Amino acid sequence: MIFDLHSHTRCSDGSLEPLELVARAIDKGVDVLAITDHDTLDAYKGLSLQQGRLGLVAGIEFSTQWESTGIHVLGLNVDPASDAILAGVHYQTEARRQRAERIGEVLEKKGVPDAFAGAAALAHSGYIGRPHFAQYLVDIGRARSIEDAFRKYVGDGKAGDVRQHWADLPRVVQWIREAGGITVLAHPLKYKLTRTKLKRLLAAFMQAGGQGMEVVSGQQNPQQTAGMGQLCQQMNLLASCGSDFHRADTHWGELGKFPALPRNVTPVWERFS
Ligand code: AMP
Ligand code: MN
Ligand code: MN
Ligand code: MN
């Protein structure tokens, strides 16, 4: 069985419509897929959880921060109609809008004109994020590529990386748990923390009610998988895995294509009811 528990659609910053993503997942041999758009459940509107031979697990990827690090928390197997999670989505959507205005101001100071309006025009739903600012920077010739725009303007630690608007970690965890979901720290290796600091993050996450971590996120080498598996076991967390698919290009992993979970961990799906 292939479980891919992390993916995106056009409802946030992916390129495919929900049904196109489902079709691609089936084509790639995925058995169980979680669509986990950033701070929104829109993909599940009118989508039944059984799609031919593919099972869907309702999910979301919330943005928050811990100390000075921007982090992402997945909610898996949530009830997408729960009042708690809908209140969370509402809060984060408003936070995103305010943050986008702030990013616009910050970029203005860097000599980039009309970035908020430019990014908003590129967004096609409630989600407006750094990828839209990056695209705008490319379109007006201020960056050579999306990568270049992240490197210069909106990537982690750069001026446009505004994070103080998000709900805090305990609140995000609470929304997910009240919606009957399991909380998973997304892509722990992406935060580029030392192992000591990552352990502190995981301890704070668990203190807040966090239950699992992604042991496998897209392509990673065997040492990384073993290291994350060991950490997961040591911290007594559930283990998750996913591609974090956004679009079919080299920057993002393909649906269902990532290393298997190590044997010594408890897969998060054992707790799906
Ligand atoms: P936001 O939700 O506005 O914080 O934007 C974060 C999103 O930007 C991530 O989920 C990625 O999809 C995307 N992203 C982050 N870094 C890069 C990068 N270097 N190149 C392309 N996309 C990126
Ligand atoms: Mn993304
Ligand atoms: Mn993420
Ligand atoms: Mn993601």
Topology adopted by domain 94-154: DNA polymerase; domain 1 (1.10.150)
Instruction: Identify whether the C-beta of residue 69 lies closer than 8 Å to the C-beta of residue 201.
Output: yes
5-50, pLDDT tens digit by residue? 999 999 999 999 999 999 999 999 999 999 999 999 999 998 999 9
The reported pLDDT for the residue numbered 125 is 78
**Look-up of token digits 């997945």:** 74
Positions of CATH 1.10.150.650 in the chain: 94-154
Mutational pocket test of ligand 1: of 8, 38, 130, the residue with most ligand atoms within 8 Å of the beta carbon: 130
The reported pLDDT for the residue numbered 192 is 95
Q: Does pLDDT of 126 surpass 80?
A: no
Q: How far apart are CA 37 and CA 21, in angstroms?
A: 12
Q: For the domain 3-89+166-271, what is the CATH code?
A: 3.20.20.140
225-236, pLDDT tens digit by residue? 999 999 999 999
Q: How many CB atoms lie within 10 A of CB 86?
A: 15
Task: Catalogue the E-assigned strands of 113-200.
Answer: 182-185
| Ligand 1 centroid – CA 13 distance (Å) | 8
99-124, pLDDT tens digit by residue? 999 999 999 999 999 999 999 999 87
Q: Which ligand is nearest to the CA of 73?
A: 3
143-185, pLDDT tens digit by residue? 999 999 999 999 998 999 998 899 999 999 999 999 999 999 9
C-beta 8 within 6 A of ligand 1: no
Positions of CATH 3.20.20.140 in the chain: 3-89+166-271
